[in-house]
A and B are shown apart, each in its own frame.
Chain A
Amino acid sequence: MIEKLMCLSTAPLNVHCGSGQALAGATSARSGLDAALRDALLEARRLDGVAEVRLLPRDRRAGRDVPKAFVVLATHDLERDQRVVNILSQMLEIDYDLVPAESAGMIPDGARRV
């Protein structure tokens, strides 16, 4: 049920071209993300079974504030997870977590959908 709701709630993002570009612009304007980071988040978002990506603009890490992404996973797939990790680990300027959809309520309230 959760998975179905997640898919419904993120359906527009599954249309990769037009809505993805509009989303990218909106995300960049809101958060000031650079293009590479924005693209990485969107690439992760498009992977099968990724329900959504939420971004907390600033999260204290090692004494400095960095954005933190929460990748919400509708399905369980280690190979997909590895792809998410490979994409986002290249982005040194953010931290990120993999969150099963049933635990999405644990994500801080300040995190907004990418």
Chain B
Amino acid sequence: MVPAESEAGVRGDVQRYLEGAASNLGFADWLKSTGRDDPTTVGWAITAAFYAAVHAVRAYLLARHGVRVGAHTDMPGLQAQHPELNNTARDYNMLKQESQSARYYLNQRFTWADFDKLRAKAARVQATWRPKTEQALQPPPGSPESPGSGR
């Protein structure tokens, strides 16, 4: 499923995206665990949750379609081009908007209860695309690398 061209590079980048998704969600949780409840900390926790979603989706798009996302502004078009992304588009778009509201407009209204709701969205995005990403990384049946090929 992975494009043959620069396959090792693609696999490496996909793996980094998957790790980035997990580590950003972990970072968000760590920010909450600090016990700080100032708007900056909550806002960056929300932002980290958004980036967990960003990296999960980018991992999938690269592994399954060979698409490298260049900018956040590419996503609306990619969601239209790859309809399966609609499975998580509402969660993804919500995370994007709320994290932007925190960062660019210094929205100080967010609470940890809000974070919990938004984190759940990020976790759903990650849980949706990680298995599909890992599946896309599997070698096609009959290839020398596939299980049971005798190698």
Which residues from chain A sit less than 8 Å from chain B, CB to CB?
61-62, 76, 78, 81-82, 84-86, 89, 92, 95-100, 102-103, 106
Identify A99's interface contact among B74, B105, B108, CB under 8 A.
B105
By a beta-carbon cutoff of 8 Å, the part of chain B in contact with chain A is 71, 73-74, 76-77, 80, 89-90, 93-94, 97-98, 100-101, 104-110, 114, 117-118
- Also in contact, A82 and B109, with CB within 8 A (given A62-B71, A62-B74, A92-B77): no
B76 and A89 contacting across the interface, CB-CB below 8 Å: yes
Report how many A-B pairs have Cβ atoms within 8 Å: 55
Would you call A97 and B90 a contact (CB within 8 A)? no
> Given A61-B73, A62-B73, A92-B76, A82 and B94 touching (CB < 8 A)?
yes
Q: What's the nearest-Cβ distance from chain B to residue A5, in Å?
A: 18
Determine the residue in chain A with the shortest Cβ distance to B92: A89
The binding surface of chain B is classed by DSSP as: helix
A106's contact among B80, B97, B105, by CB below 8 Å, is which? Answer: B105
Quick check: B101 and A97 within 8 Å, CB to CB?
yes
Q: Summarize A's interface: helix, strand, loop or mixed.
A: mixed
Whether B93 contacts A98 by the Cβ 8 Å rule is no
CB closest residue in chain A, given B101: A98
In the bound complex, do residue B104 and residue A85 qualify as a contact, i.e. CB atoms below 8 Å apart? Answer: no
Complex contact B97–A85 (CB within 8 A):
yes
Q: Say yes or no: B97 contacts A97, CB within 8 Å.
A: yes
Give B111's nearest chain A residue, CB to CB: A76
Q: How far is the CA of A62 from the CA of B80 in the complex (A)?
A: 16
